[in-house]
Homo-oligomer: A and B are copies of this chain.
Amino acid sequence: MSELERDVVGIGNAIVDIIARCNDEFLAVRELSKGHMELIDWAAAESLYDAMGPAIEISGGSAANTCAGVASLGGTAGFIGRVAEDQFGSVFSHDIRSIGVTFETPPADDGAPTARSLILVTEDGERTMSTFLGASVELGEPELDAAMIAGAAVTYLEGYLFDPPKAQAAFHEAARMAAEAEREVALSLSDAFCVERHRAAFRSLIQGGVELLFANEEEIIALYEVSSFEEAVSAVRGECRIAALTRSALGSIVVTPDGIVEIPVQPVDEVVDTTGAGDLYAAGFLYGHAKGLDAAICGKLGSLAAAEIIGHLGARPEASLSDLARTKGLIS
């Protein structure tokens, strides 16, 4: 077993978020499914951007947000993902490195620009994402950093990466590398529509060695094609060691070999923008898990991190999560 160098290595789409507010009518007219992620091509991205209101740009990407959260909690993280050599690529690279995450995937020079997600935030704080994958779409086995994976306690895979054609194969290879180094593999299901598109592939990967699964209620129900959350919980028990299942305002539950732990939701003053809530829940949980904390504390760290980013625009923490966690007595 190689030396343990990091708590987490995340593999995912390297994306800059372009966030604007809109009303429900704007979504309805464009047939955008509220709360979900849709893949769009360049022409659709340009057309939607033209129609959107004034925006702000913030580094995003699901697993990248999780890695940023782990670093903000004081953990050590690396990220593998593909940007282009352009201004958005520089922004993404700067932001993830400046929070302390190791990011060494070479930028691509094949012409496709850095991925961007056009995120529309409605008054209820819900986010609806239309993503142009750009340079991210070609992530594959050559980008996998075997040493980084072997040196991380957990290799964390972003479900959205099941969409790009080559990335699924890379996921299986990354899981093999982690297993060979006797490390754990974690997976986030990312989006219910994404689960619908790739159900069999997700099931196969989970059965092949995912120790830790992250999903929300809708995603886990979609994965097992059942009609209730309770049935989904039963189904997941046999398939992976730990499942952390989030239920928005109902908090989360953690399915472990020793039983089920219920985690209350962390209250927030105002839900401004839910972009990244699941990513940051995973960050808190993974940090605690890598530090050997028990499931209840891991879940509470997840809720705390999610609550911080829900209170402002964007999916990266503005406050120090380690300071917040210390204030709450969750870490010392």
Contacts and interface: CB of A to CB of B under 8 A. Distances in A.
B21 A54 contact: no
Interface in A33-77: 49-50, 52-59, 68
Nearest to A19: B56
B56 A314 contact: yes
Interface in A71-99: 86-88, 91, 94-96, 98-99
B87 A54 contact: no
Contacts of A94: 49-50, 52, 54-55
Contact of A58 (B56, B99, B316): B56
Contacts of A91: 55, 57
Contacts of A68: 54
Nearest to A84: B87
Given A54-B99, A55-B94, A55-B95, 18 more contacts: A20-B98, A50-B94, A52-B98, A53-B98, A54-B59, A54-B68, A54-B95, A54-B96, A54-B98, A54-B316, A55-B98, A56-B56, A56-B58, A57-B57, A57-B91, A87-B87, A87-B88, A87-B113
Nearest to A314: B56
Contact of A87 (B20, B52, B59, B86): B86
Interface of A: 20-21, 49-50, 52-59, 68, 86-88, 91, 94-96, 98-99, 113, 314, 316, 318
Give the one of A57, A96, A316 with max B CB within 10 A. Answer: A57
A56 B57 contact: yes
A132 to B, nearest CB: 13
A23 to B, nearest CB: 12
A21 B87 contact: no
A49 B97 CA distance: 11
B21 A318 contact: yes
Give the one of A49, A87, A91, A98 with max B CB within 10 A. Answer: A87
Contacts of A113: 87
A53 B94 CA distance: 8
Nearest to A113: B87
Ranked 8 nearest A-B pairs via Cβ: A57-B57, A87-B87, A54-B95, A56-B58, A54-B99, A53-B98, A54-B98, A87-B88
A10 to B, nearest CB: 16
A48 to B, nearest CB: 11
Contacts of A95: 54-55
Contacts of A53: 98-99
5 contacts: A52-B94, A53-B99, A54-B96, A56-B57, A57-B57
Give the one of A49, A88, A95, A314 with max B CB within 10 A. Answer: A95
Contacts of A59: 54
A60 B86 CA distance: 20
A94 B68 CA distance: 28
A93 to B, nearest CB: 10
Nearest to A91: B57
